[in-house]
Amino acid sequence: MKKELIVATKNAKKLREIRQILKGLDFKVTSLAEYPDAPRIIENGTTFKQNAAKKALAIARYAKRLTLGEDSGLCVDALDGKPGIYSSRFAGKGKSDLKNNLKLLRLLSGVSPARRKARYVCAVALADEKGLLKVVEGRCSGLIGYEFKGRHGFGYDPLFIIPQYRKTFAQLGPAVKHRISHRFRALKKARLSLATYLRKNS
């Protein structure tokens, strides 16, 4: 029987990406959708790593299962690193990917291409009922475009341009994104720890 790995998220799109990137590891990957009574986690950390660790620890202690906590977001140079840890709720009440993106475009209105540098950041934390096992981070640099392009991905993907491809993540699609993204880079590091955990606990 496969060991369970709970991903501490209710975001189905994020879960799908994580499952695709971790494909090949001998885990049954579940999410909070299968734990409706799980405690609500208040993301009040000041860094991506703090929020990821908080998610992993809270759910691992609740479910007594190996848990992966993830926190990620977009940091834009011209906005002094905003939206950062507030990326998913950037637009405030009634937030959505569309509203978040429209606010970003509004704040960058008139900003030159040279000043539209940005980076996606992803922190991944692993914990079991005994405590925190590992916290890692991955980054991916790019530029913020002037209009929506592409139909893949989620979040700020339609605006986030990878210079070497001259296309957004939403245009490139999962085949390319999952080889270069912030989430791929963080999960690649976490994958080593997951493989070690399997060996020690099989």
Q: What is the pTM of this model?
A: 0.93
Three-class secondary structure of residue 114 per DSSP = helix
Does the annotation mark 71 as catalytic?
Answer: yes
pLDDT of residue 202 exceeding 80: no
Cβ burial of 95 (10 Å; 0-12, 13-18, 19+) is: middle
Ordered domains of the chain (ranges, CATH): 3-201 (3.90.950.10)
Task: Supply the pLDDT for residue 2.
Answer: 86
pLDDT digits (tens, 9 = 90+) for 83-123: 999 999 999 988 999 999 999 999 999 999 999 999 999 99
CA distance 163 to 153: 18
Task: Supply the pLDDT for residue 56.
Answer: 98
| Vertex 31: Cα angle to 30 and 36 (nearest 5) | 120
Two tokens, residue 32: 């909070």
pLDDT digits (tens, 9 = 90+) for 118-159: 999 999 999 999 999 999 999 999 999 999 999 999 999 999
CA distance 81 to 63: 35
Catalytic position from the list 37, 71, 77, 97: 71
Task: Supply the pLDDT for residue 180.
Answer: 96
pLDDT digits (tens, 9 = 90+) for 3-59: 999 999 999 989 999 999 999 999 999 999 999 999 999 889 999 999 999 999 999
Task: Supply the pLDDT for residue 161.
Answer: 98
Tell me the sheet residues that pair with 69: 125
pLDDT band of 1, cuts 50, 70, 90? confident
**Long-range contacts: 39-43, Cβ < 8 Å, 24+?**
41/8, 43/71, 43/85
Cβ burial of 112 (10 Å; 0-12, 13-18, 19+) is: exposed
Two tokens, residue 84: 């950062």
Task: Supply the pLDDT for residue 155.
Answer: 95
Q: Are 78 and 71 in contact (CB under 8 A)?
A: no
Sign of CA dihedral 129, 195, 19, 27: negative
